[in-house]
A and B are shown apart, each in its own frame.
Chain A
Amino acid sequence: MARVVVDVMLKPEILDPQGKAVHGALDRLGFEGVSSVRQGKRFEIELAGMATPEAVAEIEKAASTLLSNPVIEDFSLRVEP
C-alpha cells in the first residue's frame, strides 16, 4: 500500500477570496507578521497496490483532469513513503 498526495493551488494570478478572508481573520485575532494567505486543497490518495510508475502516472492523469482545473489551478504530486 502506498499513499500519493496531490496538492492543488490556484494559479498565482487568480484572486483567492477565501485566502483573503482567512488573512483578515488572522489579523483580527492578532496573529502578526502575515503578509498574505492563499488556500488550496490536499488530496490523500491511498493506492490499492504499490506506487509503481504506472500507478503514479494514473494519479497524475486524475490530478490534471478531475482534481485540478488547469485553467485556474496548478497541482503538485508526491508519493509518501
Chain B
Amino acid sequence: MTIGVVTFPGSLDDSDALRAVRIASGDAVSLWHGDADLRGVDAVVLPGGFSYGDYLRCGAIARFAPIMEPLIDAARGGMPILGICNGFQVLCEAHLLPGALVRNDHRKFVCRDQRLRIENASTAWTSSYEDGQEIVIPLKNGEGGFVADDATLDRLEGEGRVVARYLECNPNGSYRDIAGVANERGNVVGLMPHPEHAVETLTGPSTDGLGFFTSVLMSMAAA
C-alpha cells in the first residue's frame, strides 16, 4: 500500500508525514506539487506548512497546483485523502471539504498538545479508533479557526461528518469546537491538529496520531 505525501513550496511537515506512513508500515512516496500525476499511489496526505507563503489565503494558491487536478479527480473517485493543517486548508479551498479555516480568534499562533475526541471512527482515516476515543496530539496553527454557515454545520453534525472535536479548550475559535471534518463519502478528511507528530514516544506527546495512518492502510487492505 503506497501513500503519497505532496510537497508544495513552503510545506513543512512533509518529512514527518512520510515518516509516519513508514512507521505505520506503509510505503511512503514523495509527490511534488508540479507533478501532473499521482504516481500510482493508493492514498495521499497533504501535509502542514505554509504553501506558497500563505499568500492570498492559506491554501488558495496550492489548490491550483498541477498535482491538484489528478488529486481532485481521485478524491471524487474515492481515493483516501488526508489534509493536515495547511493540507486541510487546501482541501477546503478546493471545495473537497466544506467550510474554511480563518485566523485564530485570539490572533496568536497556538502550539500545544491538544486533547481531541474522535467523533467518527468510520472514515478511511479514523477506523483504527473507536467512536468517542480521546487522543492527545500536537496542534500548531495561526489560521486554524474552522468556520461554515449554520446550515452547513448542522448538516455536518447530522451526517456524522465531524471527525474530531477539541476537548478542554477551543484553541482557535473553531465553530462548534470542530477540529476535523470529512466529505460525504468519508474518504477525504481534513484535520487541523498534527497526527504525524505523534507517532513516536521520543518526539511526540503520545503515539495517538499513528491511528490515522494505520486506519487508511487497513481500510485499503480491506477494500
Contacts and interface: CB of A to CB of B under 8 A. Distances in A.
A69 B93 contact: yes
Interface residues of A, number: 13
A10 B147 CA distance: 12
A18 interface: yes
Contacts of A71: 92, 95, 98-100, 148
Contact of B105 (A13, A15, A66): A15
Contacts of B100: 69, 71-72
Contacts of B149: 13
Q: Please provide the 6 A-B residue pairs with the shortest distance between their CB atoms, ordered closest to farther.
A: A72-B100, A17-B107, A71-B100, A17-B103, A21-B107, A69-B100
26 contacts: A10-B102, A13-B149, A14-B102, A14-B147, A15-B105, A15-B147, A15-B173, A17-B105, A17-B107, A18-B103, A18-B107, A20-B107, A21-B107, A66-B56, A66-B61, A66-B64, A69-B60, A69-B100, A71-B92, A71-B95, A71-B99, A71-B100, A71-B148, A72-B100, A72-B102, A72-B147
Interface of B: 56-57, 60-61, 64, 92-93, 95, 98-100, 102-107, 145, 147-149, 173
